[in-house]
Amino acid sequence: MNPTLYTTLLFLHVASAAFWVGGMATMHFAVRPAAVATLEPPQRLPFMAATLARFLRAVDVALAVLWVSGLVMLMGSGGFKGAHWRVHAMLTLALVMTGVYGLVRGRAFPAMRRAVAAQQWPAAAAPLGTIRQLVALNLALGTLVFAVALIGRAA
* Domain definitions of the chain by residue range: 3-154
154 pLDDT band, cuts 50/70/90, is confident
* 16 contacts 48 by C-beta, under 8 angstroms: no
What mean pLDDT comes out for the span 40-64?
Answer: 98
What mean pLDDT comes out for the span 59-70?
Answer: 98
Average pLDDT of every residue of the chain: 96
Question: What sign does the CA torsion over 81, 86, 88, 94 have?
Answer: negative
pTM value? Answer: 0.94
pLDDT at 99 over 80: yes
pLDDT at 155 over 90: no
24-55 residues labelled b (16+ CB within 10 A) or e (exposed) = beebbeebbeebeeeeebeebbbbbbeebeeb
Q: Rounded CA gap, 13 and 73, in Å?
A: 9
Backbone dihedral angles phi then psi of residue 111, each to the nearest 5 degrees: -65, -40
List, for residues 107-126, the tens digit of each pLDDT value: 999 999 999 999 999 999 99
Q: What is the dihedral of CA 50, 52, 55, 58, to 10 degrees?
A: -90
